[in-house]
Structure 1
Amino acid sequence: MTTTDNTIAPVQRVDFGPGHTVISSPSGRFSLRLQRRSIIVCTVFVSFGLVLSLWALATGEITFSANELLHALFGNGNSSSELVVLSWRMPRVIMALALGAALGISGAIFQSLTRNPLGSPDIIGFNTGAYTGALIVIFLAGGGYFQIAAGALVGGMVTAALVYILAYRRGSQGFRLIIVGIAFSAILASLNTWLILRAGLEEAMSAAVWGAGSLNAMGWEHAKPALLAVTVFFIAAALLAPRMHMLEMGDDAASALGIRVEPSRLLLMVVGVGFTALATAAAGPISFIALAAPQVARRLTRSAGVRMGSSAILGAVFLLLSDLIAQRLVPDTALPVGVVTVSVGGIYLIWLLLREAKRN
């Protein structure tokens, strides 16, 4: 009599060359390749982000001890500490992390599709398009926060569609997409300036502050809808990540592997623009996070290409750190976070341009 063992074999850990580990099942149906350096770098930055988050929650005009902070976080604190920590500071910290991660992933997508470190939504002009949509709502419709957010979302999507159509010629090549995007961004920037100049003083000042990118006065009523939308795009990005990595091998190789190249590229663009438009809708156009985070992550992890996971982690940490600097740089004045990201990002952009020019 023969018996059959129907138990499932455990997952095995297999070394795959120096610096890599592959976790796979004996049948080969499941496998996950991990780069040890990436794991270490991501773990360090996740820990750093956690420390920054706790510091942001505990410090400010009202400072709490570690014990008071923990009691407030677990709902055991007094009413004033829970109000400050949970209602005032928590939404700002969570939004900084979520929007920073969204911008990091958006930058990774466009730098992967264009195969160029300058392929960023703020360079290509999608941020500017989202700002245009918000300005139209502010000046022509006089809408509130959610109407402005919807206008920014529509503006970013319409700009992306126009850039894609103008850059399309038997496929959307990366360099053409960047050139068309820069040109379109310049046109929209001129339109934005014209709209602000024609507006009233109060409207123009409000639009200018919002256009700098700010997390000031961020509450749960603003954060919850944005977090829900960002979560949907996070899921979509995770599902499309394998296609993005296959497209990096070239269109012919991706087609040979069964990937429909142009539809996959279009879906990735929609997700990347969606992240940028959502961030702009929630906090205004925040520049250079999407440009810098993927490239810094790539250099730290020494990966062959940009990766969504590491880009998201560094984007989240960068934006939270920038917001903390903006809050504390000038005493008694909370600067828009975009002021810090533009200042630091501008230096990074100059270095990147010089580096690319030297390489070419």
Structure 2
Amino acid sequence: MTTTPDAPAATTTGAAGTTTLARRRVPHAGLAPVRVGRVSGLVRLRAVLVGLLGLAGLCAAAVAGIGHGDYPMHPADVVDVLFGGGTKMDRYVVFDLRLPRVLTGALVGLALGLAGALTQTVARNALASPDVLGVTQGASVGAVAVVVLGGAGAAVSVPVAALLGALAAAVAVYALAWRRGVHGHRFILIGLAVGEVLSGLVSYLLVRAEIVDAAKATIWLNGSLSNRDWSSVRPLALSLCVLVPLALATSFPTRALQFGDDTARGLGVRLQRAQLVVLLAAVGLAAAATAAAGPIGFVAFLTPQVALRLVGGPKPPPLVSAVLGACLLVTADLVARTLTPHELPAGLVTAAVGAPYLLWLLTRTRRTS
């Protein structure tokens, strides 16, 4: 939300003297005023429209995903079951087998889209995302190390190890990039370097692993939503209940950061603390998503840029980015299940969509420079 400037007071001169007219609010094009109690502001209408369309696409992809499988269901039957109808068999298929997978995909996509919007805002660079800054690679090191070195009981600890690895990688990148503040280009370059080191460590672990353990780790590294149940949904949902409000609470600092460090300080923002809180929220979101579904690439990079171009404005809109991230991942998982006779990991589909966009963005940036 943004504030609305007042129009200057107008004066008229007549027989009775000079009269000052009351100031009136001048509405911005494409913005609507909203007031909740004593708090008021402006909402970008395009953001509302794009967000609603994204939610509609998410619902359509979710219904199609729940209905697809060895036991096919018509979309109308899926909706009927979700609202309490259907047979006992239909309810078992929907609630026990397929709905957890779709909900996991939606929550993971939401977390990655929001994390990408936050990191791109702090770095003020479209190339910044958890994929680029080493967070995803850190989660991969933690998970692969547990699978390769942990033995038969490793599967229980994989999400926790991925979360700890992502947090450790983020701390390392922040510490190496900090020079009286965190600046976008240095942050991205150090993130790339740390990510490459961690990727090499993952390769080393896979080479030294037994063939069975290496196969398990490779499946996890591709990023997949297969075999997800309610045990995957609950911890992810609880994590997002804490991290999403924290991310949205950083709205003012992230808006001020768009004008540069000096301007943000002039607006009363404690720069280092604001950057640290935003990055912690972004890293927590990306780590929780990676722990739940593996490293799914390009969602955090792509959806904030798509949202920015659809909505407009100075920075990627966080809520719209989250909605589009959820829609993209649920749709990608549906495509991965229907594109070939054998199910593909959803991460391969998102990479096939995001990699060409990354190449286009790099080419466009080079031409602009």
1:329 corresponds to which of 339, 342, 345: 339
The residue type equivalent to 1:329 in the other structure is L
Which residue of the partner structure matches residue 134 of structure 2? Answer: 125
CA contact (8 A) 2:223 2:294 kept: yes
Alpha-carbon spacing, 1:67–1:189, altered in 2? closer, same or farther (3 Å) = closer
Alpha-carbon spacing, 1:73–1:15, altered in 2? closer, same or farther (3 Å) = farther
2:281 corresponds to which of 271, 276, 279: 271
Select between 199-208 and 227-236 the one with higher mean Cα deviation.
227-236
Are 1:86 and 2:106 matched, yes or no?
no
2:57 corresponds to which of 19, 23, 48: 48
Which residue of the partner structure matches residue 31 of structure 2? Answer: 20
The residue type equivalent to 1:86 in the other structure is F
Cα deviation for residue 273 of structure 1 reads 0.7
Distance, in Å, in 2 between the alignment partners of 1:218 and 1:204 is: 21
Distance, in Å, in 2 between the alignment partners of 1:191 and 1:66 is: 45
Distance, in Å, in 1 between the alignment partners of 2:124 and 2:357 is: 18
CA contact (8 A) 1:15 1:21 kept: no
Distance, in Å, in 2 between the alignment partners of 1:49 and 1:32 is: 28
Cα deviation for residue 66 of structure 1 reads 4.0
Matches within 5 A, 1:136-175: 136-142=145-151, 143-175=153-185
The residue type equivalent to 2:100 in the other structure is P
Select between 246-255 and 283-292 the one with higher mean Cα deviation.
246-255
Distance, in Å, in 1 between the alignment partners of 2:366 and 2:68 is: 43
Distance, in Å, in 2 between the alignment partners of 1:173 and 1:265 is: 10
Distance, in Å, in 2 between the alignment partners of 1:136 and 1:20 is: 50
Gaps spanning 5+ residues in structure 2: where? Answer: 1-24
Alpha-carbon spacing, 1:82–1:20, altered in 2? closer, same or farther (3 Å) = same
Alpha-carbon spacing, 1:40–1:15, altered in 2? closer, same or farther (3 Å) = farther
Which residue of the partner structure matches residue 255 of structure 1? Answer: 265
Distance, in Å, in 2 between the alignment partners of 1:322 and 1:303 is: 27
Which residue of the partner structure matches residue 109 of structure 2? Answer: 100
Alpha-carbon spacing, 1:232–1:188, altered in 2? closer, same or farther (3 Å) = same
Distance, in Å, in 2 between the alignment partners of 1:284 and 1:321 is: 17
**Which deviations, in whole Å up to 9, do the C-alpha atoms of 1:235-258 show, x marking residues without a partner?**
111112222112222222222222
TM-score w.r.t. the length of structure 1 is 0.92
Alpha-carbon spacing, 1:180–1:17, altered in 2? closer, same or farther (3 Å) = same
Which residue of the partner structure matches residue 241 of structure 1? Answer: 251
RMSD: 1.5
Distance, in Å, in 1 between the alignment partners of 2:223 and 2:255 is: 31
CA contact (8 A) 2:222 2:347 kept: yes
Aligned residues: 344
Cα deviation for residue 298 of structure 1 reads 0.2
Distance, in Å, in 2 between the alignment partners of 1:358 and 1:121 is: 25
The residue type equivalent to 1:241 in the other structure is S
TM-score w.r.t. the length of structure 2 is 0.90
Select between 280-289 and 32-41 the one with higher mean Cα deviation.
32-41
Alpha-carbon spacing, 1:99–1:78, altered in 2? closer, same or farther (3 Å) = same
CA contact (8 A) 2:63 2:79 kept: no
CA contact (8 A) 2:104 2:232 kept: no
Alpha-carbon spacing, 1:15–1:137, altered in 2? closer, same or farther (3 Å) = farther
Moved over 4 A (4+): none
CA contact (8 A) 1:15 1:22 kept: no
